[in-house]
Amino acid sequence: MAVIGFPKQLTLNNFKGLDEAPPSANERKGYQLRAETSTTVKYAVDTYSEIKKDGDTTTTVWKVKRNYSPTLVFNMNETWMLKSVKNDKAEAAETLAHEQGHFDISGLCARIYQRKVLQFEEEKLEDLNKKILALQAEISEKIDSLNKIYDEETSIKGTRENQIIRQQTWLKVIAVCKGNEECEFEAPA
């Protein structure tokens, strides 16, 4: 069971070099950005019906096909890094590691979605579709929330020393989860 497009090791070549951050990106985030990684999880699922017999009772249940895999799309047209950052080897390495964290958060959440959606079973297709849509919204919110916490802890709040420590903590937790298909990824304590 795998998420299509994840894992993936990002490189500096994945980032467009910009002279300055797009004003809309800084306004959206509320602070000055050095880089931005854009990902999309494509959730499209295939469903099927199955007849279940229990004694004299026959029931039709709807499920998601077992070979289903969500797709994590790396949006290269919306992913960028300041040229001044890309041209500074140390700053580029630090920023690339941070942006890899954003990508991995999305991938780990897509993996959670995949695991949960494959457990769904409903008697009505409409009910299955409602559960799928609710889970998609939940996972999208989780991705946004975790990325916001990640940025706050590693780039915005606290001293630079504490940000570096938190960055290392996040990347360790991410690495452990990447190696464990059953990991329920959450922000590290």
Confidence (pLDDT) at 31: 78
CA distances from 110 to 34, 60, 116 (A): 26, 28, 10
pLDDT tens-digit readout, 115-137: 999 999 999 999 999 999 999 99
Q: Which residues of 141-159 are buried (b: 16+ CB within 10 A; e: fewer)?
A: ebbeebbebbbebbbeeee
- Parallel/antiparallel/unpaired status of strands 80-82 and 16-18: parallel
Confidence (pLDDT) at 32: 82
Q: Which residues in the chain show pLDDT less than 70?
A: 1
Confidence (pLDDT) at 185: 97
Confidence (pLDDT) at 29: 76
**38 token code pair:** 């854009």
Confidence (pLDDT) at 100: 98
- Parallel/antiparallel/unpaired status of strands 71-74 and 39-42: antiparallel
